[in-house]
């Protein structure tokens, strides 16, 4: 399967009432594992690289090119997405590397400034055929401070989408980034109201803190693109810790990192059906 545009995964999912799994890549092993899990599930998938991951690597080019190459070699449709970019220059770099979509995050700005900045980035991306996600109603946890009480107003969201021209909207419906316990409560009534008001796909950030049955309900209520990062990091780290605890003599990273990679692949294969990313 060739590398595909993100819209080729998300938009058919919206029409079919399905979900689209989007998983964050920190190292190349994450990209390999996510694709392996998607192949096992027989589902399309989105690889995401966040601005925080770019900061970890010191640049986008290395990990970005690696993710694009892994995606291009997959046996299922795979898109590559830039997650939570706050700088237009980083967006332009991702577009140049072949990313199919970007999430421009101006949610820390007031409504008018957010709208103006996002509209400008969206116009630039659309001129190059790149799909754009934005956020309205800041989802907490990006700075380590959880704020599950934030909510996106449906009328404001509809006006924002009309003014900016974005292709998808990340909404605040009760989740928070980087949660390590599954205590988030998704406001399913608000999800349904947003789905009725907003003409583009809705995106759930902070999904790792949501009980798994509620992830399925959230997709059924109208969310489409479901972002998962921390949950996979937990699985990856636990597998490596367990292997090193059982084999303290091991010093070759290939031996223990492979355990983390395998654990992530299994979790992706298990999660995609829960997200209704595989047609029933």
Q: Is 83 a catalytic residue?
A: yes
Which single residue is written with the structure tokens 């995609």? 272
Of 100, 98, 198, 216, whose CA–CA distance to 153 is shortest? 198
Structure tokens belonging to residue 156: 């404001």
Q: What's the rounded Cα separation, in Å, for the pair 233 and 61? A: 22
Considering the candidates 83, 153, 167, 214, report the single residue annotated as catalytic.
83
Q: Rounded to whole angstroms, what are the CA distances from 70 to 18, 63, 89, 201, 255?
A: 25, 10, 24, 26, 21
Q: Which element (helix H / strand E) includes 56?
A: helix 51-57
What's phi and psi for 189, nearest 5 deg? -65, -40
User: For the chain, how far is it from start to end, CA to CA, in angstroms?
Assistant: 22
Residues serving a catalytic function are 83
């Amino acid at each position: 399967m060739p590398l595909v545009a993100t819209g080729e995964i998300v938009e058919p999912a919206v029409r079919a009432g399905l979900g689209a799994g989007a998983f964050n890549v920190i190292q190349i092993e994450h990209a390999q594992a996510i694709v392996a899990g998607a192949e096992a599930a027989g589902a399309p998938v989105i690889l995401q690289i966040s601005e925080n991951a770019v900061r970890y690597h010191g640049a986008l080019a290395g990990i970005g090119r690696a993710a694009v190459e892994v995606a291009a070699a997959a046996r299922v449709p795979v898109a590559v997405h830039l997650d939570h970019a706050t700088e237009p220059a980083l967006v332009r770099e991702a577009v140049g590397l072949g990313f199919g979509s970007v999430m421009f995050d101006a949610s820390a700005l007031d409504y008018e400034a957010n709208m103006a900045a996002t509209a400008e980035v969206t116009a630039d991306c659309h001129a190059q055929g790149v799909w754009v996600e934005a956020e309205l109603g800041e989802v907490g946890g990006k700075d380590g401070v959880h704020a599950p009480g934030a909510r996106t107003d449906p009328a404001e969201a509809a006006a924002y989408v009309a003014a900016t021209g974005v292709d998808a909207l990340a909404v605040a419906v009760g989740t928070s980034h980087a949660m390590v316990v599954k205590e988030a409560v998704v406001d399913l009534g608000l999800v349904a109201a947003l789905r009725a008001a907003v003409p583009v796909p809705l995106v759930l950030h902070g999904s790792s803190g949501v009980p798994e049955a509620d992830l399925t309900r959230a997709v059924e209520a109208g969310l489409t693109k479901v972002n998962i990062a921390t949950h996979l990091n937990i699985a990856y780290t636990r597998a490596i810790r367990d292997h090193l605890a059982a084999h303290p003599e091991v010093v070759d990273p290939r031996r223990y990192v492979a355990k983390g990679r395998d654990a992530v692949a299994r979790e992706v294969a298990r999660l995609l059906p829960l997200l209704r990313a595989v047609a029933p």
